[in-house]
Structures are given as structure tokens and as C-alpha cells.
Structure 1
């Protein structure tokens, strides 16, 4: 008996969906395509993942757990608020500050804003944007699943937080009279408090 033959239908579905996602991160995981790739019926897939959203969440959780098993979002010894702020701050750290932030935004401008939009550069930007949303949405899903965040529209919450991150990363590239760190910390606290306390 091979490992695949002995795998549960849920495991087969997850493996197939992860493989499809790895081949094309912009792809939509359709129930029929994933079921066919996994060698299971659509009914079996729906049994384990009643919605496409449930399947996507499970795939992203598997991918992110494999990529960053030590992600701070899983550290239940710290309050949910602090963990989410730390994760968002990681994203901002990648954006750099000062010259590094200016260079990063110059690249974005040159690649996606300055030229006339084409299908190719639009698709490239949207793939990057989707990945940012998926990452934030994954963190929110972890908090929801552990009971630290109320049920609600995590996609909408993620859109809000990514918009805040975009604004803060632009602010890092601009001259400022105030301490960037103080302003950034204040803004992140306000944004996370809003997400954790507001019904969506």
C-alpha cells in the first residue's frame, strides 16, 4: 500500500489543492478540478470542505504552517492583539524605511503605476496583492479558530489591514516630523483593536 493509497480522502484533497496552488498561485481552486486531481468524488470533497472558502483556508494553513512553523500568530502565551500586531509589523519590516522604502516604492511605481496597464502587469500586481491578503487572512483565521476573533468576514478584515499596511509603508518612505515608529505603533494598535472588536 503506497502512502497515497493509504491517505484519507481529506489528505488527498489537501495534497492535490496544495500542488495546484503551488503550480499557479493565482488559480482559483475549483471543487471539480481539485476533486479530479485528488481522485475523489466532489461529494467526498464537499464532506470535508463544505465551502470553497473552507478548502482555501485549509490549503493556506497547510502552506503557511510548512513555510513558517514558528509564526508568532501560533504563540498562545501572548494575547491575540500582540501576536497580530507583531505579524503585521513583520510585513512592514520587509518594506524597509527611508532609502530602502523609497527604492521599493519606486519599483512599484515604475512597474505598475507609470506604464499603461497591460494584462500582464495587472496580473503580476494582482498576484502579489492576493498573496498579501491571503497571508493576513490566514492570521485572522488562526485567531478566529482559537476563539480570539468573532466569526465574520475575514476577507474584509484582511482588506482593511492590508490597506493600513500599504499606507504605513508609504509613510516610511516620506519625510516625517514625528517619530515613524511611534506613529506606526499607534496606527497598528488602532487598526488591530478595530478588527478584534468590530463585527464584520
Structure 2
């Protein structure tokens, strides 16, 4: 391995190559060999900078979302951890709207993915959207893990749980309600975040 392979130049090339691979195909798994080949570095150099695939994925997600969302609430260390994560999850729900707007969105989703047997192309598009949502949540959790608010581990179960909560809340936005949707939604988000953070519900 050359000195340049271990320098900051190779780390930047690896991150740029992995980010480009995500941009081209959101379903990519970032295999060590493929990223190293794309970056023009050895697999040993990649492992030097990123000992595990999880470390590489977290670094790439941090770079992508750091540039795409510089004002991401997860970065606001002046706010409590649970509030930051709830505010991030609210961002995911915001585009769905409430009432009529939410009903229209869910009608379109039902027609595309549920009403008829989806084609392979439609299934692939859905899975790509789901993976992108999961990556965004995974990024938020990795930021909190770096701060010590969560264990540094694979967050797949936490991501799946939060995605399920968000899906349920977005459907609830489209249904008739007897009380304030946003109040009930806030209570649910805090309960989910407390569960993910391993804290007793407040």
C-alpha cells in the first residue's frame, strides 16, 4: 500500500466513489471491492479508512445528508436528543400533508402498489424509496450513536420500527379523526423515539 493510499486523498476518493454509486443506484450495497475499484484504491486502503461496511456506509450517509440538508435538526446540539430525532421524523411526514392532501397521496400509493399486482419495475421503485427512507433514518441514528446517545451497532431493527411508525402515522393523516391529528402524532413520535433511545416514556 502506498503512502498516498493511506493519505486523505484516498479517503476522499473512497467517499466520492461510494456517494456516486448511491446516486446512480439507491439499492447499491457498497461492496468493498466495488467501491475500492471505483475509487482506484486497494481494498486494504479502503479497510484502513473504513474497517467495516457499516463504518463506510455511515460516513457516506453523513457526507450525503450533510451536504443535502445542512440545517438538519439532528445537528442542533442545543436541543435534547429526543426532540432532535422527533423533529427529523416530522420532516418525513410533512410532505404527506393532512386531510385531503394525505388522502390523495395514499390513493396514489394504493393504486400504484396495492390495487393491482405491481410489476417488477414498480416493485423496484417502491423498494428504492423504502431504502432511501431507511438510509435517512439510519443516518440520524448514526449521528446519535457518534454522540453516545445510542450504541454503535447496526440500527436495522430501529430503522424498521421507525419506518413502520411513520407509515402508520401517514395513513392516519388520511383517515377521519376525532381529535387533533398533530397532537396524537406528536405523542406517538415521542413514544417511538423513547423506545428507540431506550428511555422510559415521559
Bin for the TM-score computed over the shorter chain:
over 0.9
> In structure 2, what is the equivalent of residue 39 of structure 1?
40
Superposition CA RMSD, Å: 1.3
* Aligned-residue offset at 1:181: 1.4
TM-score (normalised: structure 1): 0.93
> In structure 1, what is the equivalent of residue 4 of structure 2?
none
Q: Deviations over 1:68-87 (max 9, x none)?
A: 11111001011000000011
Q: Deviations over 1:157-177 (max 9, x none)?
A: 111011001000000000011
Q: Show structure 1 runs of 4+ deviating over 3 A.
A: none
> In structure 2, what is the equivalent of residue 82 of structure 1?
83
Within 1, Cα distance between the matches of 2:158 and 2:40?
35
> In structure 2, what is the equivalent of residue 8 of structure 1?
9
Q: Deviations over 1:130-187 (max 9, x none)?
A: 0111111111110110112233431211110110010000000000112111211111
Unaligned runs of at least 5 residues, structure 1: 1-5
Give the SS at the match of 2:179: coil
* Aligned-residue offset at 1:93: 1.1
TM-score (normalised: structure 2): 0.92
Unaligned runs of at least 5 residues, structure 2: 1-6
> In structure 2, what is the equivalent of residue 98 of structure 1?
99
Inter-CA distance 55–151: structure 2 relative to 1 (3 Å threshold): closer
Within 1, Cα distance between the matches of 2:196 and 2:29?
27
Within 2, Cα distance between the matches of 1:18 and 1:182?
38
* Aligned-residue offset at 1:95: 1.0
